[in-house]
Amino acid sequence: MDERLEAEGEVAVARLSIDGGDLRHAARHLGDALAADPRHPDAYAALAELAAAAGGHAAALELFADDAFTGSVACVAQLHAAAGQWEPALGALAAVLGAEPDRPWAVVSWLADPALPGRLSPAAVAQAVARLSRTLPDPLPPRLREPVRPFYSLVRAVTAAHPGDSLLHAMASTLARRFGDAADAVAWAERARQLEPGHAQAVVLGSALHAAGRSAEALAVWEAEIARDPSGVDLYVDVAELHGKTGRPAEGLVWLERALALEPDHPKAAPAGHALRHAVDGGTAHLLALSDHLRAHPDHGYAAHLLDGLCEDEPWLGHVHPAYEASVNVLHQMLARPGTARDHGIELLSSALEPPSTRLALTMGFPRATVDYQSVPSPDPRIPQYQVSTVLWEFHGPEGRAARPSVGAPSAEASELLRQVAALGWPSPGAAYDHAVRLAGLSAEDLLALCVHPPLPLEDEQGARLLGGQPEMWVRAVQVFACLGLAHHRADEPWPTSRRRALLVDLLFGPEDWTNEAAGFALLAIAWADPTTREDIGARLVDRLLHVGKAWRERDATILASLSRLVLACPWLPETFLSLAGEMLKAATDFHSRPAEDAAERQADIMAELDARRAPGAGAARVPKPRSLLNRLFGRAR
């Protein structure tokens, strides 16, 4: 529904309630009206009518007592302003603007009154800025600057009117920094420190200097403050992280050791240490340690913030891994052609058989599309690595080159729930596992069926972009979350003999397909969430990688890069396997980024290099034979 129409409907119901004497009901509807359209003039007019009916603004405010809904808090701000209570009005406005900074809450007439700066105390304005800044991003993205700008303009005016107030200048600096006004942020912070050389002023000045690109000066200010007052552990963390941001993470670790010596349980120091060690060492060991820290301390929100940022751009750690098949490339080209409708009939002829799930992506983009393959490469990708009990695909047609699901469609309820839960990205593997708990109530049969009968994405902006540009990513997301749902199936069963393990291992070792990757990620997510499963899951992922890597010697195996990244996300594995996974990832990504005419030659060169490193006469630094080492370390192959 249109926001304005929705607001008008809420106002109409509110006025009926006012006429009927049900003022509390009217208050709820006026809160809903402003939530629908914060600039709706009739909502503010009706709010004045409510105050009159209640017998005054104080009585009307009681109608919104203990209601933290954003629309209701906006009503509170307006009622305070109408009563001339400017400071509580500003505090309430800061609260609602901080909760939803993308909406025009600050576009109200009383905030733009030129006389308002003279009616406010600097302490009240500083408190309102502090309240707002707690939730505003730093820096503010461009889309948030205009909604917040009326508030920022008021702060600037009040700061100019009170040149001797240190706290106000410090708080104004934090807001200027978020708006990218580096010069004002530094000037106000310097003025705040001149007026009162306290700890808060030093912290704000260092932040302003860093935002202005003057990191060395920021470090000097902060380190001098620590020398003056060594009790502020938060500032040690700030110094450590600034060393990391300026390319000296090892120096930052020294400061974190000092911080932890002062406060071993500090909620930011240990997470920051894992992040800096990751900057020094790379890999995934410190990301897993950060995840383990968060699992042990779920109240340490800073650990979650750091882990999210470090995993965000990494395939599998933070989002669905891309697909590399030739038919997917063709699908993208067809979708990019102007005027190509989804009902366009497309017939693809590919030289060699691809993972069956590519058909799902193709028909999701173009439901009438067909694909035929000229040959089945060797080693045969249709043959499971081991005998499995769970089979998702059956092959038919000439030489078995066509594939169709071997299970029926899922229930409508299961499809709809998965549409709501599935996502292309997540803060970390452990967070993806936690997010999928909503699927725990689905049957294993429905979850397996969803892997090969993916529903369409939601009818929203993201769904339209996926269907119109990258339908394969939605298919892969569905498969990932269906497998994560399996990861929660009968979660009370002991892992080694559980049905959830049996199902996921079957999918991992089944015919070469995207569902191998999805099951592999679900296993990885379980391992990140439950350390007792790590040795077993690491062995399974290595086993699958080695098998696909062996096939890749003879033909393309498009899931090799994905499996390599899954193994690299198991830092508890011996370095032999991590090193080999790194080599395979480099080989596979290099292969798929090169032109087709020289990719095969490069594939042979890379595998020859790997063979040479594993050859008996290659010297002490050679990589051991992976299969024999796998068996020696983990026992049976499966």
Secondary structure tally for the chain: helices H, strands E: 32, 4
Tens of pLDDT, residue by residue over 240-258, are 999 999 999 999 999 999 9
Tens of pLDDT, residue by residue over 547-590, are 999 999 999 999 999 999 999 999 999 999 999 999 999 999 98
What is the arithmetic mean of pLDDT over 500-505?
Answer: 98
Q: What band does 284 get if pLDDT is binned at 50, 70 and 90?
A: very high
Q: What is the pLDDT of residue 45?
A: 96
Q: What is the pLDDT of residue 595?
A: 60
Cβ atoms 348, 327 nearer than 8 A? yes
598: tokens are: 């020289």
Distance of alpha carbon 476 from alpha carbon 361, whole angstroms: 9
Tens of pLDDT, residue by residue over 97-138, are 999 999 999 999 999 999 999 999 999 999 999 999 999 999
Please name which of 517, 593, 596, 518 lies closest in space to residue 559, comparing C-alpha atoms: 517
How many Å from the N-terminal Cα to the C-terminal Cα in the chain? Answer: 55
Q: What band does 625 get if pLDDT is binned at 50, 70 and 90?
A: very low
Does 142 sit behind a cis peptide bond, omega within 30 degrees of 0 on the bond before it?
no
Please name which of 133, 156, 150, 153 lies closest in space to residue 203, comparing C-alpha atoms: 133
Cβ atoms 282, 251 nearer than 8 A? no
Please name which of 404, 423, 540 lies closest in space to residue 482, comparing C-alpha atoms: 423
Q: What band does 635 get if pLDDT is binned at 50, 70 and 90?
A: very low
Cβ atoms 484, 362 nearer than 8 A? no
Q: What is the pLDDT of residue 1?
A: 53
Cβ atoms 86, 116 nearer than 8 A? yes
364 contacts: CB under 8 Å, gap ≥ 6? 454, 456, 467, 471, 472, 474, 475
DSSP letter assigned to residue 136: S
Q: What band does 605 get if pLDDT is binned at 50, 70 and 90?
A: very low
Cβ atoms 300, 294 nearer than 8 A? yes
What predicted TM-score, i.e. pTM, was given to this entire model? 0.84
Cβ atoms 107, 38 nearer than 8 A? yes
What is the arithmetic mean of pLDDT over 502-516?
Answer: 98
What is the arithmetic mean of pLDDT over 301-309?
Answer: 96
What is the arithmetic mean of pLDDT over 484-494?
Answer: 97
Q: What band does 341 get if pLDDT is binned at 50, 70 and 90?
A: confident
Distance of alpha carbon 415 from alpha carbon 410, whole angstroms: 7
The angle formed by the CA atoms of residues 105, 110 and 115, to the nearest 5 degrees, is 140
- Is residue 615 scored above 90 in pLDDT? no
Domain ranges across the chain: 326-391+421-634
What is the arithmetic mean of pLDDT over 299-312?
Answer: 95
Q: What is the pLDDT of residue 532?
A: 97
The angle formed by the CA atoms of residues 467, 472 and 473, to the nearest 5 degrees, is 90
With a pLDDT cut of 70, the percent of the chain lying above it is 93
Please name which of 294, 359, 298, 283 lies closest in space to residue 325, comparing C-alpha atoms: 359
Cβ atoms 135, 92 nearer than 8 A? no
116: tokens are: 């308002």
Q: What are phi and psi of 347, to 5 degrees?
A: -120, 115
Task: Using the CB atoms, write b or e for 454-492: b if 16+ within 10 Å.
Answer: bbebeeeeeeeebbeebbbbbbbbbbbbbbbbbbbbeee
Higher pLDDT: 628 or 559? It is 559
Angle (deg, nearest 10), helices 142-161 and 86-99: 160
- Is residue 436 scored above 60 in pLDDT? yes
3-state DSSP call for residue 295? Answer: helix
142 class by beta-carbon count within 10 Å (0-12 exposed, 13-18 middle, 19+ buried): exposed
Q: What is the pLDDT of residue 337?
A: 86
Q: What are phi and psi of 350, to 5 degrees?
A: -110, 150
Tens of pLDDT, residue by residue over 37-84, are 999 999 999 999 999 999 999 999 999 988 889 999 999 999 999 999
- Is residue 174 scored above 60 in pLDDT? yes
Task: Give the helix ranges, DSSP H, for 338-392.
Answer: 357-365
Q: What is the pLDDT of residue 384?
A: 97
What is the arithmetic mean of pLDDT over 197-223?
Answer: 96
241: β partners:
none
420: tokens are: 């709501």
Tens of pLDDT, residue by residue over 177-196, are 999 999 999 999 999 999 99
DSSP letter assigned to residue 349: E
Task: Report the chain's mean pLDDT, rounded to a whole number.
Answer: 91
Q: What are phi and psi of 315, to 5 degrees?
A: -55, 135
What is the arithmetic mean of pLDDT over 337-342?
Answer: 80
3-state DSSP call for residue 402? Answer: strand
| Cα 266 to Cα 234, 258, 274, 295, 616, distances in angstroms | 8, 12, 13, 16, 51
Q: What band does 173 get if pLDDT is binned at 50, 70 and 90?
A: very high
Cβ atoms 162, 126 nearer than 8 A? no
